[in-house]
A = this chain, B = another copy of it.
Amino acid sequence: MGGRVTGSLLRLTVSSVSTVRRLVVVGGGAAGMSAASAARRVDPTLEIVVLEATGYVAYGLCGIPYYLAGLVERADELVAHPAAYFAERRRLDLRMHAEVTALDPDRGRVSYRQAGRHRTLGYDALVVAAGGVPGAVALSGVPRDRVFTIRTLEDAITLRTLLDAGRVGRALAVGAGYIGLEMAEALAARGCAVTVVERLDRVLTSLDEEVAATVEAHVREHVDLRLSTGLDSAEWGRALDEQPDVVVLATGVRPATTVAAAAGAYTGPAGALLVDDEMRTSLPRIWAAGDCIAPYHRVLGRPAYVPLGPAANRTGRVAGTVAAGGTASFPGVVGTAVVKVFDLEVARTGLTLAEAEAAGIDAVATDVVHRSRAKYYPGSAPLSVRLVHERTGRVLGAQLVGREGAAKRVDVVAAALHARLTVADLGALDLSYAPPFAPVQDPLLMVAQAAARTREAVA
């Protein structure tokens, strides 16, 4: 009856692996379907049940802004495969509109509600891939059916229908993080007059303030941005006075851990589930993956809550593989993310200076502004790069902002973080050059070499 879990949280080991007959996956999003598919690859005969709260599985939440903007025609384009594919080709027992209400890890049973009825299902192994839930926000003065949180495809389809019908003249986006700004861009692209309100005095807290200021200035060219506007402020009241046709909430997500935590699973940063590198929770026979866990952050050296798509897929795959008796492990994240904000590419990896300082690291930032291509090549645009590094030279992170060339350049720094390179190492890389793609000295080399000189000056 499943693997027994022993030892401390970060070094959980399975003392014996017995045959798993039924795997239950809670959540049919990216992480859950990755887990179920990976489990199928490990064990062709395993019974695999997926309990999904909505009417869709394997949907990509990240594509929703582009669907709303009209760049993606149909909602089903955001779905990796239709449910029938998973049911037939991968022989998964998909139970839709099934909301999990309780876990009993001692008896290996999961309770859920479906079509108004309570049901119970036994399991030998279970993967919690319940995702994230939007922060609870009570909005006064806005009809409930005009408020969208955009965490489900259904929600997105409803909003898109309103947009297509020309019924959204004014839109209010709440939150100026990644999703809030992507939604603002999508709504503006549909011709809506968009106001973005943000409780804090800045946009994109995943960036250092100086870097975020560049993005903020660009956002203001496209929409009405109101910072320091909490939902209880007079400014918020004024935003509502202008009677938005829709309100889109993008105030961030918290991990959907209520059920697992109630069953006794250990939780960590932001209340997310703690897991080992094989995605094992502190509960026997229960693994977890995706936006409900705090994976290991390689630069911080401890778990962190950074809910993003690639890690959801990867941790799902690891959880499903291991839960089904296979071998896999997740090497952790370094916090790489990129977002398109109107005409800007905004990318980051590792730690910001603020994050490094908060973690007690003696860090400095080196900034350069260089170009995306050879200066004489058409389309060449300024690219701002901030490199965050220890005074002793180790690279800690980077932030890039520009009209082009930020997204994939940040991955070079992600690789440098993985390999624990120094600024001197980074500045010594043999990076690609041709006038249409980069200046002869890539901006990453410029900033790393400048950082290395800073370090020499300090040393």
A contact set with B: CB distance below 8 Å:
30, 60, 62-63, 66, 71-72, 77-78, 298, 308-311, 313, 331-340, 345, 347, 349, 374-378, 405, 407-412, 414-419, 421, 425-426, 428-438, 440-442, 444-445
A23 CB, nearest partner CB in chain B, Å: 22
Residues of B within 8 A of A310 (CB): 430-431, 433, 440-442, 445
Whether B435 lies near A62 (C-beta < 8 A) is yes
The chain B residue sitting closest to A337, CB to CB, is: B432
A44 CA / B430 CA spacing, docked (Å): 30
Whether B336 lies near A431 (C-beta < 8 A) is yes
Sample of 4 further A-B pairs with CB below 8 A, known A30-B440, A347-B432, A408-B411: A62-B374, A78-B376, A336-B433, A415-B421
- Chosen A-B contacts, 26 in total, with CB atoms closer than 8 Å, are A63-B377, A66-B436, A72-B377, A77-B375, A77-B376, A310-B433, A336-B433, A337-B432, A338-B438, A340-B437, A349-B430, A407-B432, A408-B438, A411-B431, A411-B442, A411-B444, A412-B412, A414-B430, A414-B431, A414-B432, A415-B415, A415-B416, A416-B419, A418-B428, A418-B429, A419-B421
Please give me the 9 A-B residue pairs with the lowest Cβ-Cβ distance, nearest first: A419-B419, A407-B437, A331-B428, A338-B432, A415-B415, A408-B408, A77-B376, A334-B430, A336-B430
The residue that A309 contacts in the complex, of B60, B331, B436, B440, with Cβ under 8 A, is: B440
A346 CB, nearest partner CB in chain B, Å: 9
A316 CB, nearest partner CB in chain B, Å: 11
A414 CA / B445 CA spacing, docked (Å): 13
The residue that A429 contacts in the complex, of B63, B415, B437, with Cβ under 8 A, is: B415
A118 CA / B190 CA spacing, docked (Å): 72
A415 CA / B405 CA spacing, docked (Å): 17
A60 CA / B332 CA spacing, docked (Å): 42
Residues of B within 8 A of A405 (CB): 408
Whether A440 lies near B376 (C-beta < 8 A) is no
Whether A313 lies near B418 (C-beta < 8 A) is no
Residues of B within 8 A of A410 (CB): 432
Residues of B within 8 A of A77 (CB): 375-376
